[in-house]
């Protein structure tokens, strides 16, 4: 549930990005992460056709939150598991702690289910993502481009990843963008 807080004048709404939101989405991530990497990843995922959900939170006309979900590859026991990458996620500084990030994650997880993803992967703070059911242990036997324990997953279809061996690959914009 989103909790109203100071500064949240105007109607809070959630929905898919519109073409005119693109500059504000870039600016939101540049401010939240202090650089261009995440904004460039978003542009690359969108341009490359990897993104299947790009969701914004608005207060009035202002973009105050954004998350992207895109197709990624997890090959397990020689077959491809339909999987989604949750990244990046940002909420504008004055609007954090009100449940906006959580709502964007929940909406994205629902979009991933509808899209047919069997698992969602995220690289981020375990303390934040654990609340949604993400767990690093599920990926313990999979080869990952990130150090062990950093990457977490949420199985939307139970048992598709846990205890299995295989390889995780992120779409090229994650490695092509410069940190
Ligand atoms: C992480 C982020 C998206 C959370 O957005 P938000 O709208 O504040 O999130 P919510 O309000 O839904 O959830 C906030 C809750 O998560 C907790 N939380 C936020 N960031 C956290 C973190 N890094 N670790 C642990 N808990 C965290 C808050 O304490 C709060 O808990 P409470 O509800 O018990 O008070 C936002 O802080 C942000 O944009 N940070 C900078 C960019 C970033 O780090 N993005 C995530 C990269 S993986």
pLDDT number for residue 23: 98
End-to-end CA separation in angstroms for the chain: 34
The CATH superfamily label for domain 12-170 reads: Gcn5-related N-acetyltransferase (GNAT) (3.40.630.30)
Give the span between the Cα atoms of 26 and 97, in whole angstroms.
21
Among the listed residues 161, 154, 157, the one whose alpha carbon sits nearest the alpha carbon of residue 128: 154
Which of 96, 136, 174, 179 gets mutated to test ligand 1 (max ligand atoms within 8 A of its CB)?
A: 96
Average pLDDT (148-165) is 94
Domain ranges of the chain: 12-170
Q: Which two tokens stand for residue 31?
A: 């401010």
For 108-144, how does the pLDDT look when each residue is reduced to its tens digit (9 = 90+)? 999 999 999 999 999 999 999 999 999 999 999 999 9
Instruction: Answer whether residue 102 shows pLDDT above 80.
Output: yes
Average pLDDT (53-74) is 97
Is 124 a pocket residue for ligand 1 (Cβ < 6 Å)?
yes
The pTM score is 0.94
Instruction: Answer whether residue 9 shows pLDDT above 80.
Output: no
Residue 6's pLDDT band (cuts 50, 70, 90): low
In percent, the amount of the chain with pLDDT more than 70 equals 98
Instruction: Answer whether residue 8 shows pLDDT above 80.
Output: no
| Nearest atom of ligand 1 to the alpha carbon of 98 | 11
Give the span between the Cα atoms of 99 and 71, in whole angstroms.
25
The whole-chain average pLDDT of the chain stands at 95
Tokens 């929940």 belong to residue: 106
Instruction: Let me know how many helices (H) and strands (E) the chain has, helices first.
Output: 5, 8
């Amino acid at each position: 549930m989103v909790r109203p807080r100071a500064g949240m004048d105007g109607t809070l709404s959630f929905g898919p990005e519109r073409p005119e939101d693109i500059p504000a989405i870039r600016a939101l991530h540049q401010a939240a992460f202090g650089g261009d990497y995440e904004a460039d990843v978003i542009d690359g995922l969108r341009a490359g056709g990897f993104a299947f959900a790009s969701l914004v939170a608005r207060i009035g006309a202002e973009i105050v939150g954004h998350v992207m979900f895109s197709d990624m590859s997890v090959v397990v026991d020689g077959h491809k598991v339909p999987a989604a990458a949750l990244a990046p996620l940002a909420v504008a500084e004055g609007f954090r702690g009100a449940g906006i990030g959580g709502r964007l994650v929940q909406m994205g997880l629902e979009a991933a289910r509808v899209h047919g993803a069997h698992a969602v992967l995220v690289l981020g703070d375990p303390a934040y993502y654990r609340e949604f059911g993400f767990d690093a242990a599920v990926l313990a036997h999979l080869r990952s481009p990130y150090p062990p324990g950093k990457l977490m997953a949420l199985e939307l279809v139970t048992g598709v990843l846990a205890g299995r061996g295989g390889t995780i690959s992120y779409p090229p914009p994650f490695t092509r963008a410069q940190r």
